[in-house]
Amino acid sequence: MNEMPQQIISAKTDGATSVNATSSVRSAKDWLQALNKYRTPSLKRSLLEMVLTAAPFVALWIFAWWALSISFFLTLAIAVPAAFFLVRMFIIQHDCGHGAYFRRKATNDWVGRVLGVITLTPYDVWRRAHAVHHATSGNLDKRGLGDIDTLTIEEYHNLSFGKRMAYRLYRNPIVLFIIGPAYQFLLANRVPMGMMNAGWRYWVSAMATNAAIIATSGLLIYAIGLGPFLMVQLPITILAASVGVWMFYVQHQFEETCWLDEPVWDKHDAALFGSSHYDLPKPLAWATGNIGIHHVHHLCDRIPFYRLPQVLRDFPELTGVNSGVHRLTFTESLSCIKLRLWDESQKRLVSFSMAREIYASRNR
């Protein structure tokens, strides 16, 4: 078990639990104060990161199209690095949504909207859903928008047979990491999912993004043909979507993440201890825009992605050593795939088989 539950979670006199830092661990709010100095973006660095992301993506896209004259399998091979540059472009859009990439809000918003055409993600719709995710992450009473659906053991067993099977299907790795991401980015994003009645601006965001996607795709189809366009664009988009969903999953769906009921839930503690430090090899960390340093990002979302490694260099304890932070390597993260349900009594995510044993033992 990670040290966080023993060091951070203490019992209140009324029997409830709360998350508080002990004298040996700096509190999440203390960390927030220490991290504020990293919030200021650098215009030169932001522009450089944009060029280093967009230029290779365009070059690889053209190269993948050219490779069709040799072999579709060569195109598929080129789609792999191209997809990671598309993920990186999404991270820039993500930082714009947090107001972290440029100093001016208008610049963030309009750059984010343009990038939304490339990432197939309506910027204003996504920004609101993601803000809800940040504001409610780890709150058992406010699950839903912007999250991967997660049930407690009791909630799951109280469902009808059909709904339990639907939840099992939803949490199947093929659905969660392949079919689901493709559906989300290719289809679901075409309307303001979760905000259908939230106001006209979200419909404008979705429809304007759709119109720009149609116009851009139409020009490319006119230039190279429908078949070649689909053979290049679809593999890149689907792979990037799967990588993106995997990153989002593993950053919150690990065994000792932090989920609490609202009376004792704390936004800052949930941010720091309910988000993982996904410690990837440097090339992968760069390709995914350092979003694996997710605990720092969740605690202080105004830090530009390119400054997150500097935080870990300045504060080595935030890497996951004696601080309650949960560090995951790539190999360790693979075990997170089997985790499906939240065990409220032991404060951990468990597999379906473990949940069945736990539920049976409680109801003997």
Q: Give 110's DSSP letter.
A: H
Query: Which residues in the chain show pLDDT less than 50?
Result: 1-24
Residues 84-109: b if buried by 16+ CB within 10 A, e if exposed = bbbbbbbbbbbbbbbbbbbeeeeebb
User: Which residues share a beta bridge with 327?
Assistant: 277
Q: Is residue 247 part of a domain?
A: yes
- Model pLDDT, residue 9: 42
CB of 220 within 8 A of CB of 153?
A: no
Question: What pLDDT sits at residue 322?
Answer: 58
| Predicted local distance difference test score (pLDDT) of residue 289 | 97
Q: How far apart are CA 328 and CA 361, in angstroms?
A: 30
What does pTM read for this prediction? 0.90
Tokens of 179: 């079919």
The confidence score (pLDDT) of residue 128 equals 94
Q: Assess if residue 42 is contained within a domain.
A: yes
Domain count for the chain, please give it: 1
Q: Residue 259: which of 136, 162, 113 has the closest Cα?
A: 136
* pLDDT of amino acid 358: 92
Note whether residue 109 is domain-resident. yes
Q: In this structure, is residue 59 part of a structural domain?
A: yes
Residues facing residue 260 across a β-bridge: 139
Q: Return d(Cα 212, Cα 218) in angstroms, integer.
A: 10
Q: Is residue 267 part of a domain?
A: yes
As a whole number of angstroms, the distance between CA 83 and CA 90 comes to 11
Asked whether residue 364 is assigned to any structural domain, the reply reads no
Residue type, 324: G
Quote the CA–CA distance of 118 and 107 in Å, as a whole number: 17
Q: For residue 325, what pLDDT is reported?
A: 85
Give residue 4's pLDDT: 43
**Domain that residue 48 falls in:** 4-359
Q: Is residue 29 part of a domain?
A: yes
Q: Which two tokens stand for residue 125?
A: 């719709």
Q: Is 46 exposed, middle or buried (0-12, 13-18, 19+ CB in 10 A)?
A: buried
The pLDDT assigned to 353 comes to 94
Distance between alpha carbon 260 and the CA centroid of its chain, in Å? 20
